[in-house]
C-alpha cells in the first residue's frame, strides 16, 4: 500500500461522534456522518476510514447477473508463446469488455479494448481482487468513493478491492489496457521500505511518484444506484438506495493510486543487472516489473542484453509497450510473451552482436512473473504465433 493520505473533513479521533453541525445535508437529519472502515488482510494491515452522508449499508436489492468460470486450454504442450494482442476487436465496456488471457490461483491477466465507457452499469466494484490497470493507450479521470484523480497513458492504476469506481475516459475509442486482477493485495516491495514504512532512498520510485485522489466528489442524492460487483467468476448487481459517492472525508493507506511507468528510475550497472532491479509491485504469488527506457551497461566488453535463463520456479510474462526490444525479434507493441518454467529462453539469434554498439534502450515493457503455472484461455490461443517456439533457430 502507498502512504498516509487524507482528503476532506473528519473528526479528530477514530470512532467518535462526527457531528456535521448542520453543515450541508445529512441523512434523516441525524446530523452525523457515518464511519466506514476499509481494510486489507483482516484488520491487521493497511486500512482507510471514510465518512459518508448516509450509511453505506443501504442496499435495496441484489441480483445475480452471471457466473463465468475461466476455462483453461488443456491440449497445449509446454512451450513458449507469443500472443499478438494489438488488434483485439473492441468490445463491451470498461468492466465487461475485458478479455481473459492468462490465469492461475493468484492472478488473472486481461486485455481490454472497450467499445464504450459503460453499457448498462456506470459504477463497478471488484469485491474479490485488487486491480492493476496498466494504461497502454488512453487517459481520463478515475472517479471513486475516495474522490477524483486523473490517469494517463503508461500509468499503473491500482484500485484496491471493495472500492466502487468508474473510469471516465477522455476518448473511449483510444482506451486500451492490460489488467491484472490480484487475489492478494498489491504492495510496494518490502525491501524498498525502511523500518518506518517510508520508501528508501535508492529505490526506483518514491512517494512523490504515487498519486492518490486529488478532490472529493461528494454526491448527496437519494435514489437507486446500481453497482456492478464482481467477485471471482460471479457478477452481481447491487442496488443502493442512494448515490455511493457520498463521502465527505477519509484518511488512511488504502485508496486508488496511479504510478506512471515513465517515473520508474532504472538501475543500471557496468554489466547486465538481473530482473529484480525492475520490480515495481509485490503481490502474493507474483511480482510486477517495469522495463523502463535506460542507459545500457557501460563495461567495454559488456553483453548488453539478457543472458539465456531458465525460470525454474516461475512463469514469465512480458507485455511490450513501446520501443525496440533488443533481445527479441518479431515483437510488436501489445505483444505478450509467455516463457514458462522447463524450457530456457534468451536473446534471439543476432541480437547479441546487434546490441554491441548500443548505449541506450528506449524499450518499455511490463513484466509479471508468477510462482504458480499460468493457464492460457481459448481467447489467448487464438492470438498465438505457433512458430514462436522455433524462433531461436538461426
Q: Interface residues with Fe ion (CB under 5 A)?
A: 316
Q: How far is the CB of 278 from Fe ion (least distance, A)?
A: 11
* C-alpha cell at position 107: 492472478
Q: How far is the CB of 311 from Fe ion (least distance, A)?
A: 7
Of the chain, the end-to-end C-alpha distance in Å amounts to: 46
* C-alpha cell at position 287: 511480482
Q: How far is the CB of 27 from Fe ion (least distance, A)?
A: 55
Name which of 233 and 350 has its Cβ closer to Fe ion. 350
Q: Under a CB-based contact definition with an 8 Å cutoff, are residues 179 and 134 in contact?
A: yes
Q: How far is the CB of 266 from Fe ion (least distance, A)?
A: 17
Q: How far is the CB of 367 from Fe ion (least distance, A)?
A: 8
Q: Under a CB-based contact definition with an 8 Å cutoff, are residues 85 and 256 in contact?
A: no
Would you tell me how many other CB atoms lie within 10 Å of the CB of residue 275? Answer: 16
With CB atoms as reference, the residue minimizing the distance to Fe ion is 316
Q: What is the dihedral of CA 210, 213, 215, 219, to 10 degrees?
A: 180
Name which of 154 and 316 has its Cβ closer to Fe ion. 316
* C-alpha cell at position 374: 499460468
Closest by CA to 159, choosing from 255, 95, 47, is: 255
Name which of 343 and 382 has its Cβ closer to Fe ion. 343
Report H helices in the chain.
351-354, 378-381
Whole-angstrom Cα distance, residue 255 to residue 236? Answer: 23
Name which of 72 and 272 has its Cβ closer to Fe ion. 272
Name which of 166 and 339 has its Cβ closer to Fe ion. 339
Q: How far is the CB of 180 from Fe ion (least distance, A)?
A: 18
Q: What phi and psi, each to the nearest 5 degrees, are found at residue 263? A: -90, 0
Whole-angstrom Cα distance, residue 10 to residue 13? Answer: 8
Residue that is written with C-alpha cell 466506514 in the block: 36
Name which of 181 and 363 has its Cβ closer to Fe ion. 363
Name which of 161 and 339 has its Cβ closer to Fe ion. 339
Q: How far is the CB of 309 from Fe ion (least distance, A)?
A: 6
Amino acid at each position: 500500500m502507498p502512504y498516509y493520505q487524507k482528503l476532506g473533513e473528519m473528526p479528530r479521533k477514530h470512532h467518535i461522534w462526527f457531528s456535521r453541525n448542520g453543515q450541508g445535508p445529512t441523512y434523516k437529519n441525524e446530523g452525523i456522518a457515518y464511519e466506514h472502515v476499509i481494510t486489507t488482510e483482516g484488520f491487521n494491515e493497511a486500512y482507510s476510514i471514510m465518512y459518508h452522508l448516509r450509511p453505506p449499508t443501504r442496499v435495496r436489492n441484489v441480483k445475480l447477473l452471471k457466473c463465468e468460470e475461466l476455462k483453461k486450454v488443456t491440449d497445449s504442450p509446454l512451450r513458449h508463446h507469443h500472443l499478438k494482442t494489438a488488434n483485439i476487436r473492441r468490445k463491451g465496456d470498461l468492466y465487461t469488455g475485458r478479455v481473459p488471457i492468462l490465469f492461475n490461483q493468484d492472478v488473472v491477466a486481461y486485455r481490454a479494448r472497450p467499445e464504450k465507457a459503460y453499457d448498462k452499469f456506470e459504477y463497478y466494484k471488484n469485491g474479490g481482487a485488487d486491480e492493476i490497470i496498466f494504461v497502454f493507450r488512453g487517459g481520463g479521470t478515475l472517479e471513486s468513493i475516495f474522490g477524483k484523480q486523473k490517469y494517463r497513458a503508461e500509468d499503473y492504476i491500482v484500485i484496491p478491492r471493495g472500492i466502487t469506481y468508474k473510469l471516465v475516459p477522455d476518448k473511449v475509442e483510444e482506451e486500451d489496457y492490460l489488467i491484472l486482477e490480484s487475489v492478494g493485495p498489491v504492495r510496494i516491495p518490502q525491501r524498498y521500505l525502511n523500518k518506518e514504512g517510508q520508501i528508501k532512498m535508492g529505490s526506483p520510485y518514491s512517494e512523490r511518484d504515487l498519486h492518490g485522489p486529488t478532490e472529493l466528489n461528494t454526491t448527496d442524492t437519494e435514489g437507486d444506484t446500481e453497482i456492478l460487483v464482481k467477485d471471482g467468476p460471479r457478477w452481481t448487481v447491487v442496488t443502493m438506495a442512494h448515490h455511493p459517492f457520498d463521502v465527505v472525508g477519509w484518511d488512511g493507506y488504502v485508496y486508488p493510486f496511479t504510478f506512471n511507468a515513465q517515473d520508474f528510475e532504472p538501475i543500471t550497472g557496468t554489466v547486465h543487472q538481473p530482473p529484480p532491479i525492475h520490480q515495481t509491485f509485490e503481490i502474493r504469488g507474483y511480482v510486477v516489473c517495469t522495463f523502463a527506457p535506460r542507459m545500457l551497461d557501460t563495461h567495454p566488453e559488456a553483453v548488453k542484453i539478457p543472458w539465456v535463463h531458465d525460470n525454474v520456479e516461475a512463469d514469465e510474462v512480458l507485455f511490450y509497450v513501446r520501443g525496440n526490444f533488443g533481445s527479441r525479434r518479431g515483437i510488436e507493441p501489445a505483444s505478450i510473451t509467455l516463457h514458462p518454467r522447463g524450457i530456457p529462453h534468451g536473446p534471439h539469434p543476432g541480437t547479441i552482436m546487434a546490441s554491441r554498439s548500443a548505449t541506450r534502450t528506449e524499450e518499455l515493457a511490463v513484466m509479471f512473473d508468477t510462482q504458480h503455472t499460468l493457464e492460457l484461455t481459448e481467447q489467448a490461443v487464438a492470438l498465438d504465433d505457433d512458430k514462436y517456439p522455433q524462433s531461436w533457430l538461426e
